[in-house]
Amino acid sequence: MKHKFLEIARQTLPERAVDDRVNDYQEYAMRLSDEAVKEQAERCMDCGTPFCHVGDLIGQETIGCPIHNYIPEWNKLVTKEDWLGAYHRLMETNNFPEFTGRVCPAPCEGSCTLGISEEPVAIKSIERTIIDRAFENGWVTPRTVKQRTGWTVAIIGSGPAGLAAADQLNQMGHHVTILEKADEAGGLLMYGIPNMKLDKEVVRRRVRLLEAEGVRIRTGVNVGVDVSVDALRKEFDAVIFATGAQKQRTLGIEGDDASGVEMAMDYLTASMHERKGEALAPRYDAAKKHVIVIGGGDTGADCVATAIRQGAASVVQFGKHPSKGILRGVDRPWPLQPDTLTTDYAYAESLAVYDEDPRTYLIRSNRILKESDRVVGIETEQMKKIVNPDGQASFFAIENSTQVYPADLILVAIGFERPEQELRRIGVEKTKHFHTVQDNVFVAGDARRGQSLIVWAIREGREVAEEVDSFLNTCQERLKTSS
């Protein structure tokens, strides 16, 4: 009998027609049929030694799933059409598979053993199908917390790390309050990821579930402004900072203070507020403008897709690195992510609307050109990347390669700075693991480790919950001893 992975080709979630989806902000990815998902799960069944769930780091590279999802196990349940069993197995390790099944970059697939010689198992597509089916069938309901401990925990920030910590601690029986400075919970899930990748009703649905289970959420509270850390320490038995890495990196070049140069996350947040019926400030409206997106990552791609929907005259995206190859490079051996060239949703849309891929490579931005303090263009140079024998890369400008791009709106998407300075500003000093200098104050997620993946944020939330629970149990023992 032939092995299924030899008979069945990889198939991921189908996408809506580009010509249709660029006219709205609905999710672009659709569902596979149950039979197709079952076949995709069958590609996993002959794996001898799975690496997909390892969840570790090699240098800065994530290997497998950081939350250690039982991927082969729920795949097997899918092949048996035991969707309910697959849902329960999935939820043992992942608090929010409806998020990861949509926006996780799937390092598990990069480490799939089948990926050594074939295309990997479509793990992310299977995961999303399991959880979507669970919601559709009414299997996802509020869980009853049988006994409360009496301990209170404040969680600052409602991104994936904060929500995961809240979920875990609430189920442990503690009274949990989330403090969020925005008008809705969800953090970057709500305001940093466009609706076409993650519908906001998906986020709200999970938030409503957490509230139904007993988690209290207070929005519009900016810790360090509206309430001090010391006040929270007195009001709550433990405090967790899961505020993310919030300070965006700036260009630091001549002219970057010009009107029309905007931070990518501010732009995406403004777009999300527009989806909620609020007026879009003209500075964030790309309609009929020549748009330059600086930064070649996912946030940059989201800016491209949003600008297209706003009716931009043109969109160009600058990348610092060379174009990726079609095949896995020798510098990207398995089980690292292959990091090959793909046509992401935003780039497929650009090809359809402008008849060209927006990506340019090995570009250095030298200075921003402005007239009457408003951006009119950007001067760049073409770079050459040289990898030294020790593996370190150096970039050199190519002579006579200066080029000027016209620009009415420049979106800066070059990541976030380390969060230490922002935490210190409000009186939080990290020490080791999830702890700070204050014994009942903890830190987790991007606020602890810097900008990272959603699955790392969920893992951080789960692990800091264990740390806080242990701390509270120790406090309980001290109270018993003293009495």
Do 295 and 365 fall within a single domain? yes
252 occurs within a structural domain: no
The count of domains in the chain is: 3
Do 426 and 302 fall within a single domain? no
142 occurs within a structural domain: no
Q: Which residues contact residue 6 at a Cβ distance below 8 angstroms, ignoring those fewer than 6 apart?
A: none
304 occurs within a structural domain: yes
Helix (H) or strand (E) holding 102: helix 97-103
120 occurs within a structural domain: yes
* Whole-number pLDDT of residue 20: 96
Do 422 and 290 fall within a single domain? no
128 occurs within a structural domain: yes
Do 379 and 453 fall within a single domain? no
240 occurs within a structural domain: yes
Assigned token pair, 262:
């905007």
CATH code assigned at 434: 3.50.50.60
The DSSP call for residue 185 is: S
Distance CA 60, CA 400 (A): 35
* Whole-number pLDDT of residue 58: 85
Distance CA 414, CA 263 (A): 9
Domain boundary among 351, 378, 412: 412
* Whole-number pLDDT of residue 1: 46
Sign (positive/negative) of CA torsion 129, 135, 141, 142?
A: positive
Do 243 and 266 fall within a single domain? no
* Whole-number pLDDT of residue 2: 62
How many angstroms separate the first and last alpha carbons of the chain? Answer: 69
* Location of structure tokens 């609307």: 353
Whose CA is closest to 123, among 112, 131, 139?
Answer: 112
pTM over 0.85, yes/no: yes
Distance CA 134, CA 141 (A): 10
Q: Which residues, given as ranges, of the chain have pLDDT below 70?
A: 1-2, 479-483
pLDDT tens, 173-224? 999 999 999 999 999 999 999 999 999 999 999 999 999 999 999 999 999 9
Do 324 and 406 fall within a single domain? yes
- Domain span at residue 63 reads 4-15+22-136
Distance CA 175, CA 62 (A): 33
* Whole-number pLDDT of residue 103: 96
Residue 454 — φ and ψ, nearest 5°? -60, -35
Do 29 and 167 fall within a single domain? no
Whose CA is closest to 119, among 13, 43, 35, 227?
Answer: 43
Distance CA 369, CA 382 (A): 18
Do 364 and 394 fall within a single domain? yes
Distance CA 100, CA 111 (A): 17
* Whole-number pLDDT of residue 341: 83
Distance CA 147, CA 145 (A): 6
Do 160 and 180 fall within a single domain? yes
CATH code assigned at 62: 1.10.1060.10
* Whole-number pLDDT of residue 248: 94
* Whole-number pLDDT of residue 483: 56
Distance CA 213, CA 210 (A): 5
253 occurs within a structural domain: no
* Angstrom distances, CA of residue 42 to CA of 3, 81, 130: 9, 11, 15
Domain boundary among 107, 136, 165: 136
Helix axes 83-91, 123-136, angle to 10 degrees: 110
Backbone torsion region of residue 311, taken as left when φ is above 0, otherwise alpha when ψ lies between -120 and 50, otherwise beta: left
Do 278 and 175 fall within a single domain? no
Whose CA is closest to 238, among 169, 168, 167?
Answer: 169
Do 9 and 71 fall within a single domain? yes
Distance CA 23, CA 386 (A): 42
Sign (positive/negative) of CA torsion 450, 57, 413, 28?
A: negative
Do 363 and 267 fall within a single domain? yes
Domain boundary among 108, 136, 164: 136
103 occurs within a structural domain: yes
